[in-house]
Structure 1
Amino acid sequence: MATKIRGRERLLAKMKALPPEVRSAIKQALAQGADEITDMQKRLVPVDSGDLRDSIAQTWGGGKVRYSSLNAGAETGDPDLTVRISAGNSKVRYAHLVEFGTAPHINGGKFAGSQHPGTAAKPFFFPAYRALRKRVKSRITRATNKAAKRVAAS
């Protein structure tokens, strides 16, 4: 889900130049939004052992999360203002199979030649992200504008 931003360097320079009060307001709004998204994902995920639900996590600072099957968030950017939400870890490497399902196929390995009927998709990750992203974006914009007005008034 990587996107290209035109003028990214200029944007990053402007973000670094923001006063600490504005950066703090943005980070607080971003943290609240990330919490809402992960909470909804944990409510939507189908639970068998609970390992998949417990693997849904937030990582601050951007970068790629190791062992995750599903990711939402920025690859690069200001580390203080970047959060990545992921599902999957070294124990749970099947989040994408639950989210998107599997097609019927012939098995290999120990049960070679047997027919697997496939599994139905049980989306939990991206529906929560899509449902809340507009609200989160609006909250961040409001926090930015409010903090910028406070800074400008003082």
Structure 2
Amino acid sequence: MRAMPISARRALASATEKGADEIARMAETLAPEDTGDLVGSIAVTVGPKNTPAHSHPGGTRTVPEGAAAVTAGNGDVRYAHLVEFGTRKAPAQPFFWPAFRVLRKRSETRIKRAMTKAIKEEWNK
């Protein structure tokens, strides 16, 4: 990352954050709204920072520079994975991974376009 020009790093961060925001908004739309706590726990963490404790997928993680993570759950909402995948007594209500799967390609394309544009601009200086 440090070897990349600042303009390319900014383009990467901007495109990544925009894609993560779209995924988070769709996950919020798909999430069940019983109390609204689950919807309110869906967050975007832009690096370099840590994701919320007890978040799905994978708990607390350090998001590297130029990356973004979408998580559901936090210290108060520790059941996002149970809603997503269900339990023996409660059926699954997928919201997180469907949003990711629907918007993944779009986000990847946006990032590639932004990086290509930044590299071309840097090259032509």
TM-score (norm 2): 0.90
Tell me the equivalent position of 1:96: 81
Q: Max radius of gyration: which structure?
A: 1
Deviations 1:13-70 (A, max 9, x none): xx220100111111110111011000000000010110000000011225553121x1
Tell me the equivalent position of 1:26: 12
1:81 counterpart = 2:52: no
Question: What does 1:2-151 correspond to in 2, within 5 Å?
Answer: 15-61=1-47, 63=50, 65-68=52-55, 70-71=56-57, 79-103=64-88, 118-151=89-122
Q: Separation in 1 of the partners of 2:20 and 2:123?
A: 28
Q: Separation in 1 of the partners of 2:50 and 2:37?
A: 23
Q: Separation in 2 of the partners of 1:60 and 1:32?
A: 10
Structure 1 residue 141: Cα displacement: 0.5
Q: Which runs of 4+ in 1 moved over 6 A?
A: none
Unaligned runs of 5+ in 1: 1-14, 104-117
Unaligned runs of 5+ in 2: none
- Root-mean-square deviation (CA), in Å? 1.6
Q: With CA pairs under 8 Å and 6+ residues apart, which has the higher RCO, 1 or 2?
A: 2
The percentage of aligned residue pairs carrying the same residue is 48
CA contact (8 A) 1:71 1:84 kept: no
CA contact (8 A) 2:51 2:62 kept: no
Q: Separation in 2 of the partners of 1:76 and 1:51?
A: 24
CA contact (8 A) 1:56 1:86 kept: yes
Deviations 1:130-149 (A, max 9, x none): 11111101100010001100
CA contact (8 A) 1:52 1:92 kept: yes
Give the secondary-structure state (helix, strand or coil) at the position aligned to 1:126: helix
Q: One-letter code of the match for 1:39?
A: R
Give the secondary-structure state (helix, strand or coil) at the position aligned to 2:28: helix
Give the secondary-structure state (helix, strand or coil) at the position aligned to 1:139: helix
Give the secondary-structure state (helix, strand or coil) at the position aligned to 2:54: coil
Structure 1 residue 125: Cα displacement: 0.3
Tell me the matched-pair count: 122
